Structure 1
Amino acid sequence: MEKIKYVICIAAVMVAVIISCKTRYTTTTTTSFKATSSAANFDRGKVLVFSVCAGCHYDRRINKFIGTQIHDVPGIAGKVFAANLTHSKSNGITDKYSDAEIRYLLKTGVARDGRFLAYMLRPNMADEDINAIITYLRSNDPPLRAADTTVGITHFTFVGKAYMNLTAKPVPYKPDVPMPAKNNKVAIGYYLVDNLGCFHCHSKKLTSLNYLNPDQTKGYLAGGIKFKEPNGGEVKASNITPDKNTGIGSYTEEQFSKAIKEGIAPEGGKLKAPMPKFALLKDEEVNAIYAYLQTVPPKNHKIE
């Protein structure tokens, strides 16, 4: 009996070691995708990069995309730092990627060196928007000009590696995704809630997100995820379903716009970080998000 227990114990340790060490995936871009630059793509790309990427990669103290530490990763799992996206030859990474590799990273979460970057996942983003993001990242806009600095090197502990490999996996590569129809306001709203990452923060847990089918995520848009504030405090993401008592069911379109673009709640209070983060969105895009949220089943979930 003791021998069986010993064998089981050894097997469990070996499995744990294998799991913790598997931190690389095969990368296959399969295409020679090349972004097309234009003034319109630059403008759209800037909006998207500031709305999607800035939360992790933008340092507001110096107004540059030099990266930041992701403080929401528990210390027991290690330390995670967002990369420098500027055109730094020593520390920047954007110029080291081909357009096809950036596209593959955004679609699957797999970097060119095989690492899986869960925060990067945007499998349902249209190629038109990926094209715009790449156009902006390739530009010489001031926030992207070379800044030869690094905020830190990502390091996962044994626990972090094991956890990542058990719970976080790349998703299938979905190329050639079209934009939603321009006359379908609700579809546009759903597309934005997906690709701006609204459902990432406003659902039940970051570890149970359904990236391919966002509306099937547990606790979809009902809030509750905790985030660390710069001062060490915590803030919980709000319920943004149209429940009138615990969600945003009583918000007017104008109040909703003011909240996500200016960070001002209907009662006059200021929203805490990471909101507001959508100041650059067009009014019609904000209105489309509002229209979509009104179609989501209301959930009575009070957030303290």
Structure 2
Amino acid sequence: MRKYKLPAIISVLAAAIIIGSCKTHFETTKANYKTNKSSEAFERGKILVYSICGGCHYDPSAQKFIGTPIHEVPGFIGKVYAANLTNSKSHGIPPHYSDAELKYLLKTGIAKDGRFIPYMLRPNMADKDLNDIIAYLRSDDPAISATDTTIGITHFTPIGKMIMNAMAKPLPYRPGIQKPSETDSIALGRYLVDNIGCFHCHSHSLTSLNYLYPEQSKGYMEGGLKFKNPQGNNIYASNLTTDKQTGIGNFTKLQFRNAVKYGEAPNGQLHPPMPEFSKLQDNDVDAIYAYLRSIPAKYHKVHGQ
């Protein structure tokens, strides 16, 4: 029989107890916030929901925000499914949240029942964009019309629950954030890279993201993160720094726009979820391009590219 040193066993047990006893429920909001549901808010909200939420929640075959399986989660953690965002009262998320609760969830990651959801964080999003997202989710647009279905129920293994509990660090609710001016392309581009979530996929690791200060994320915009395409094959996020050998240093503004909006890069067709950004306005994409050209070029050869 293998002999284990007592201090090592005690350390493992102590770590398990600490992780397992982490606070898992938090205070949510009691605010009485109501969304402005103008036609302008709807149009902008639609662009934002497709661009921010589409990669996980939009099913192209159904043309609905009914959710999708998240294949990138390792099996030892469990099975994760993106939620139904339609206005289904039996399966959808929006009908069960007030406007204030949706806004609070997106800012802090805290659900209405106090659970922390660590992958829906937009602490730096402007109040107007939050308003517009909620306005769209409250609309009768076909993509979010009530669809009484679920593609799966998220289930974490005991190890997965311990990991999730260890990650239970809600972000501060910071109201009053303003979106940068359209005339400041670099500031606007940085804002969009943050809030659309470009840096989530194009940095080194989902577990080392810094949502409050994105540039402090490990391997910020250098790419390399592994995903799976709908066929189950591995794909890797590209280096979006301006390194000319491994990044986008040779992309023109038009080439970058075509890559982001239509998945057409100079070196070939891009994989999903890139085509979900086709609804972004040209000036938004151009602002992202201007911002990316302002950050340091980093040599990082991505697998398979």
TM-score by length of 2: 0.93
Q: What is the deviation of 1:65?
A: 1.1
Query: What is aligned with 1:37?
Result: 37
Aligned pairs for 1:115-130 within 5 A: 115-130=115-130
Q: Distance in 1 between matches of 2:200 and 2:8?
A: 38
| Contact 1:168 1:207 survives alignment (8 Å) | no
Q: Distance in 1 between matches of 2:239 and 2:101?
A: 35
SS of residue in 2 equivalent to 1:227:
strand
- Higher mean Cα deviation, 173-182 or 7-16? 7-16
SS of residue in 2 equivalent to 1:221:
coil
Aligned pairs for 1:199-278 within 5 A: 199-267=199-267, 269-278=268-277
Q: Distance in 2 between matches of 1:242 and 1:8?
A: 46
SS of residue in 2 equivalent to 1:44:
helix
Matched to 1:158, the amino acid is P
| Contact 1:20 1:159 survives alignment (8 Å) | no
Does the alignment pair 1:281 with 2:288?
no
Q: What is the deviation of 1:23?
A: 6.7
Q: What is the deviation of 1:145?
A: 1.0
Q: What is the deviation of 1:276?
A: 2.4
Q: Distance in 2 between matches of 1:63 and 1:17?
A: 44
Q: What is the deviation of 1:214?
A: 0.5
SS of residue in 2 equivalent to 1:50:
helix
Identity %: 57
Distance 1:266 1:112, change over 3 A: same
SS of residue in 1 equivalent to 2:87:
coil
Query: What is aligned with 1:134?
Result: 134
| Deviation digits for residues 167-208 of structure 1 (CA, Å, limit 9, x no counterpart) | 452211111211112321100000000001000000010100
Q: Distance in 2 between matches of 1:244 and 1:12?
A: 46
- Consecutive unaligned residues of structure 1, counting only runs of 5 or more, are none
Q: Distance in 2 between matches of 1:205 and 1:9?
A: 30
Q: Distance in 2 between matches of 1:155 and 1:231?
A: 23
Query: What is aligned with 1:295?
Result: 294
Matched to 2:282, the amino acid is D
Q: CA RMSD in A?
A: 1.8
| Contact 1:222 1:301 survives alignment (8 Å) | yes
Q: What is the deviation of 1:24?
A: 2.7
Q: Distance in 2 between matches of 1:219 and 1:11?
A: 31
SS of residue in 2 equivalent to 1:76:
coil
Matched to 1:165, the amino acid is N
Q: What is the deviation of 1:7?
A: 8.4
| Deviation digits for residues 245-298 of structure 1 (CA, Å, limit 9, x no counterpart) | 11001000000000010101113x100122222101111111100000000100
Q: Distance in 1 between matches of 2:226 and 2:118?
A: 18
Does the alignment pair 1:74 with 2:74?
yes
Q: What is the deviation of 1:9?
A: 3.7
| Contact 2:57 2:83 survives alignment (8 Å) | yes
Q: Distance in 2 between matches of 1:30 and 1:181?
A: 31
| Contact 2:24 2:168 survives alignment (8 Å) | no
| Deviation digits for residues 189-232 of structure 1 (CA, Å, limit 9, x no counterpart) | 00000001000000010100010011111100000100012212
Q: Distance in 1 between matches of 2:170 and 2:141?
A: 31
- Higher mean Cα deviation, 112-121 or 22-31? 22-31
Q: Distance in 1 between matches of 2:259 and 2:23?
A: 39
4+ runs of 1 displaced by more than 3 Å? 5-12, 20-23
| Deviation digits for residues 49-103 of structure 1 (CA, Å, limit 9, x no counterpart) | 0000111111111111111111111110011111111111111121110111011
Q: What is the deviation of 1:19?
A: 2.2
Q: Distance in 2 between matches of 1:48 and 1:126?
A: 12
SS of residue in 2 equivalent to 1:284:
helix
Does the alignment pair 1:159 with 2:159?
yes
Q: Distance in 2 between matches of 1:20 and 1:152?
A: 25
Distance 1:23 1:92, change over 3 A: farther
How many matched pairs?
300
- Higher mean Cα deviation, 164-173 or 68-77? 164-173
Aligned pairs for 1:101-116 within 5 A: 101-116=101-116
| Contact 1:21 1:161 survives alignment (8 Å) | no
Query: What is aligned with 1:51?
Result: 51
| Contact 2:28 2:111 survives alignment (8 Å) | no
Distance 1:7 1:249, change over 3 A: closer
| Contact 1:224 1:303 survives alignment (8 Å) | yes
